[in-house]
Structure 1
Amino acid sequence: MLTVVRIVVMVGMLLVVPMGLRLVGGLAPAARWWPVAAAPAAVGLWLPRGPVAVVTTAGYAVAAALLAAVAARRLLRRGVSPREIAVATALTGPLVAATALVAERAGHELFGFELPVLVLTVAHFHMAGFAAALVAGLAGRAAAGRAGDAAALTVPAGIALVFAGFFVGEWVELAGATVLTAGMWLVGVLTWRQLRPAGGDRLTRALLGVSAVVLAATMVLALSWALGEATGLPHPSLAWMAATHGVGNALGFAVCGMFGIARLRAEPL
């Protein structure tokens, strides 16, 4: 399982975040230098836990902290709106991921969480924390009105509830998974109905179509897992979730979605 999760994390650090940053106004320079911090951290994922692994991931944590500072400054400058909340959530996600990564590489059970849980947190906050929130903001812009605002708000709200559930308990995590699933399904619908038709060629439409369909399927798995954890009902194992939900979200949703949106050549958020 850990091998699959590490590969998902590498996809997030090296592909998804740089692609996503190019879709945010004023962050094209950050997209260009992001791999400078991400590449050593990707290597550090595979090193034995200890000081060397911590050093290789520390630069990534610094870069993520700077990105979170940009998010706060942007929110203060532009004001609070559904779209800006989604963008701020996306730009803050890598900091949560990087904090968990450094702690895991140090062998430190941050806030009492076991090390495998920290690795899963790193993956989650690249794909849901960054990619899903950013696409929610983009979909919200494409579909002006209540549906767009709902997409831009429910994904960050679901992410926040899932995060709170780590500390409070499985029922809060289930509530978060429910809200997040509803938001992600709405993002999928808007991607299919609003973003995909805007594609000027078959490849762009295919990428956005795959992103929307995969998202619908993978979030069923996420909801079933959270429901099983809270109620004791049968549910997929973490290894199965990593191989299906994790890989599907990384490659099918995030990578295809980011490539497709980039090909739309839309105005940056």
Structure 2
Amino acid sequence: MSVLVGLVVMLGMLVIVPAGLGLVGDPALARIRRLWPLFAVPGAVALWLPRGTAATAAAACYALGTLLLAAHAPLRLARTRGAGPAEIALLTALVTPSVAALALVAERSGHELFGFGLGILALTVPHFHFAGFAAALVAGLVCRAGDDGPVGRFAALSVPLGTLLVLAGYFIGDLAELAGAVVLTAGMWAVALLTRRTALGVGRDRVTRILLTASAAVLVATMALALSWALGEATGLPHPSLTWMAATHGVGNALGFALCSLLALRRLQHPTHPEGRTA
């Protein structure tokens, strides 16, 4: 696993997932969030160990945490007795880290899971932390917060659907993965539009407005890159390399979209958030 990918994954494990869980407002998730370092720290250590038994054991510890999170999804669904678009997106966010963890365990053990090479497995780990967990979570939170019109519902449904189609495309072929990329990109651009709308409505809170605007702008650019890569893979047209995608699409989604979005939503949800704050 490259240094860049490892750093991005560490951000997802140690910061993005617990920060996102803290925004849902679910007491059960709050308890999992308090336990999260017990799983995430070994997972982060696994990224830097040589492939083998120790790295696999540390990755498996992280996988246990993600399974605990995924197991909460059906419990939450049973408690709500129905799932609207926002809830579907939030449930998707709870499940996707387990996909990343499965890929991590396989990659750290040196096992080509389902025939996928170790390089693809290594990139699957950040993908399902950010295009999976973070994107679905932000789509669900923005829709739930009041942007539940057609655009909000489209974002909250198309991000989970696109994520599922991309995952299916791993097994079916490049054209199926391209279809998933189209749906996911459309959903993410809808999230960008809603994020920009939110930025325009935060009054004089300059920091939150900057964070939301940056998140929206970066998301448009990074998903255009993702779409160009998927199109190139499916048609043979020139497209960015995986190394270039990790350095642009991957880093941009991690820092520009996920981190900025969650920081902004945290400021908006904070009970002492003053409408007139300027810093």
**How high is the TM-score relative to the length of structure 1?**
0.96
Q: CA 1:163–1:199 in 2, change beyond 3 Å: closer, same or farther?
A: farther
Match of residue 58 from structure 1: 60
Deviations 1:186-213 (A, max 9, x none): 0000011035523662111111111111
Determine helix, strand or coil for the equivalent of 1:48. Answer: coil
Q: Give the counterpart letter for 1:87 in structure 2.
A: L
Deviations 1:1-52 (A, max 9, x none): 8221111111100110010000112222222221221111111101110100
The higher relative CO (CA closer than 8 Å, separation ≥ 6) is in: 1
Match of residue 20 from structure 1: 20
Match of residue 136 from structure 2: 133
Number of aligned residues? 267
Higher mean C-alpha deviation, range 73-82 or range 258-267:
258-267
CA contact 2:199–2:213 (8 Å) conserved in 1:
no
Detail structure 1 runs of 4+ shifted over 4 Å in the superposition: none
Deviations 1:234-258 (A, max 9, x none): 0000000000000000000001110
Residue 218 (str. 1) matches residue 215 (str. 2): no
Match of residue 166 from structure 2: 162
CA displacement at 1:164 relative to structure 2: 0.3
Q: Give the counterpart letter for 1:16 in structure 2.
A: I
Cα distance in 1 for partners of 2:200, 2:13 equals 25
Cα distance in 2 for partners of 1:199, 1:238 equals 40
Match of residue 116 from structure 1: 119
Residue 255 (str. 1) matches residue 259 (str. 2): yes
CA contact 1:139–1:195 (8 Å) conserved in 2:
no
Determine helix, strand or coil for the equivalent of 1:234. Answer: coil
Matches within 5 A, 1:42-57: 42-57=44-59
CA displacement at 1:81 relative to structure 2: 1.3
> Which one of 80, 83, 89 corresponds to residue 92 of structure 2?
89
Match of residue 213 from structure 2: 209
CA contact 1:20–1:131 (8 Å) conserved in 2:
yes
Determine helix, strand or coil for the equivalent of 2:23. Answer: coil
**How high is the TM-score relative to the length of structure 2?**
0.93
Match of residue 234 from structure 1: 238
Which 5+ residue runs of structure 2 have no aligned equivalent? 272-279
The alignment-based identity, stated in percent, is 63
Determine helix, strand or coil for the equivalent of 2:48. Answer: coil
Match of residue 9 from structure 1: 9
Determine helix, strand or coil for the equivalent of 1:198. Answer: coil
CA contact 1:65–1:95 (8 Å) conserved in 2:
yes
Higher mean C-alpha deviation, range 27-36 or range 170-179:
27-36
CA contact 1:104–1:115 (8 Å) conserved in 2:
yes
Higher mean C-alpha deviation, range 200-209 or range 92-101:
200-209
CA displacement at 1:75 relative to structure 2: 1.6
Cα distance in 2 for partners of 1:262, 1:85 equals 21
CA displacement at 1:127 relative to structure 2: 0.2
Match of residue 172 from structure 1: 176
Which 5+ residue runs of structure 1 have no aligned equivalent? none
Deviations 1:150-171 (A, max 9, x none): 1100000100000000000000
